[in-house]
Amino acid sequence: MSKKNNKYSKKSNLKRYFQITVKRDLKVISPRLAFFICSFILTLSPHAPLFANHQQRCISHSEQTTIIDKTYHYLNSSFCQPALWFDDFFVDERISEDSQAGTMVRWYNDFSLDEDKNFRYKTKLTARVHLPKVTHKLKLVFESDAEDAVINLFPNKNEPAENSLGLRYDWVVKEQQSLNVKVTIKPSIEMRYRYTIPLSEYFISRITQKIYQKKKLTGSATLLDFDVAISENFLFRWTNFVKIETKDRLELGSGFTLYQFISTTQAFSYKTSVTAQEKPNHYISNYHLSLNYRQNIFRKWFYYELTPELNWNKEQTTPRESEASLTLRLEVLFNNI
């Protein structure tokens, strides 16, 4: 009888231990996990089915596409690359920086709420204007030095991107390469070269090299992309960057993005990345995980986005902190006005 009671006692103690352990772990994990799951469910609206009935063999630009120019027509006609459509739809600098399109005005407003119920608001205006009676290679620009696509994949709250007014000259605009020079009133000067290498019908690589001077700061940034067209509706992108600046600073990162085509007005992007500081001290500064849903509604020039994301930040002398947030973006985008 005592052995039987002892047996039940062990089972009871084991069950109690399991319940206490699970409750303790869930108490720590559940707020962030629940926040991210709820944000994910909110993002998957009834108007955005997970699978689209898209019959075209390759996603090429339609009449609504206004940014893609002859540089990318070459790739689109020679290679089956949905990257062109996704970069255009998400207003990626990989398209807009190489484009010979006319005026572009982009104004977005971000409304963010984190898990601690802290509310943040950010607004940003970006513009590129052709100067009248001047060669189309010369543009008046109002933009930041950092590309939004890189900031979204490798967020860094310690380096806010500020816009400045300047002039950009598109020195070389060819089918697979481009070279431009930008001078701003900060003052700063930047030279940017980009070369696209089609490796196969469904696989391309792209290297972007920047050299810049900002007052007493000299720097170089290298961005390397590999795009794989998984299907007509999915594109996988592997992005790597290295940034070197004077004052003995070295930063690098690697990230993955999966794009999903829903319709000509809807798309998803799923992102994950890791960012590290190598100099003056080496440590991983951030882990990033996010989902982005973008849709064109009401008018051709009006968009909204929903972005739940998780970041695990770390400073050189502070412990790692995690933050979950949900961002609503309202955007106005005009091209060739």
pLDDT at 107 over 50: yes
Q: Is the dihedral of CA 151, 157, 158, 162 positive or negative?
A: positive
pLDDT of residue 327: 95
DSSP structural state of residue 131: P
Q: Which of these ranges, 116-125, 154-163, 217-226, 324-333, has the smallest mean pLDDT? A: 154-163
pLDDT of residue 189: 92
Phi, psi dihedral angles at 185 (to 5 degrees): -85, 10
From 245, 323, 311, select the one nearest 284 (Cα to Cα).
Answer: 311
Q: List 225's β-bridge partners, or say none.
A: 206, 239
Give the separation between CA 136 and CA 134, rounded to whole angstroms.
Answer: 6
pLDDT top residue among 69 and 230:
230
From 126, 128, 153, 154, select the one nearest 140 (Cα to Cα).
Answer: 128
Confidence of residue 133 (pLDDT cuts 50, 70, 90): confident
So where are the chain's domains? Answer: 44-335
Q: Determine what percent of the chain is predicted with pLDDT higher than 90.
A: 32
Q: Average pLDDT, whole number, for the chain?
A: 76
DSSP structural state of residue 72: H
Buried b (16+ CB within 10 A) or exposed e, 290-307: bbbbbbbeeeeeebebbb
CATH code for the structural domain at 44-335: 2.40.160.40
pLDDT of residue 76: 44
pLDDT of residue 39: 52
Give the separation between CA 204 and CA 334, rounded to whole angstroms.
Answer: 29
* Contacts of 179 by beta carbon, 8 Å cutoff, 6+ apart: 170, 171, 172, 191, 192, 193, 194
pLDDT top residue among 290 and 279:
290
pLDDT at 25 over 70: no
From 235, 269, 234, 241, select the one nearest 255 (Cα to Cα).
Answer: 241
pLDDT of residue 217: 86
Q: Give the model confidence (pLDDT) of 30-50 as tens digits.
A: 445 545 554 554 545 444 443
Phi, psi dihedral angles at 278 (to 5 degrees): -105, -30
Give the separation between CA 76 and CA 71, rounded to whole angstroms.
Answer: 9
pLDDT of residue 56: 43
CB of 331 closer than 8 Å to CB of 107: yes
Candidate ranges 78-82, 145-149, 199-203, 273-277; pick with highest mean pLDDT:
273-277
pLDDT top residue among 322 and 69:
322
From 297, 298, 311, 306, select the one nearest 269 (Cα to Cα).
Answer: 306
Give the separation between CA 205 and CA 94, rounded to whole angstroms.
Answer: 12
pLDDT of residue 157: 66
pLDDT at 18 over 80: no
Helix (H) and strand (E) counts for the chain?
5, 14
CB of 164 closer than 8 Å to CB of 144: yes
> CA 102: distance to chain centroid?
24
Mean pLDDT throughout 83-110? 75
pLDDT at 283 over 70: yes
From 59, 55, 56, 53, select the one nearest 81 (Cα to Cα).
Answer: 59
pLDDT at 97 over 70: no
Q: Which of these ranges, 155-159, 171-175, 188-192, 240-244, has the smallest mean pLDDT? A: 155-159
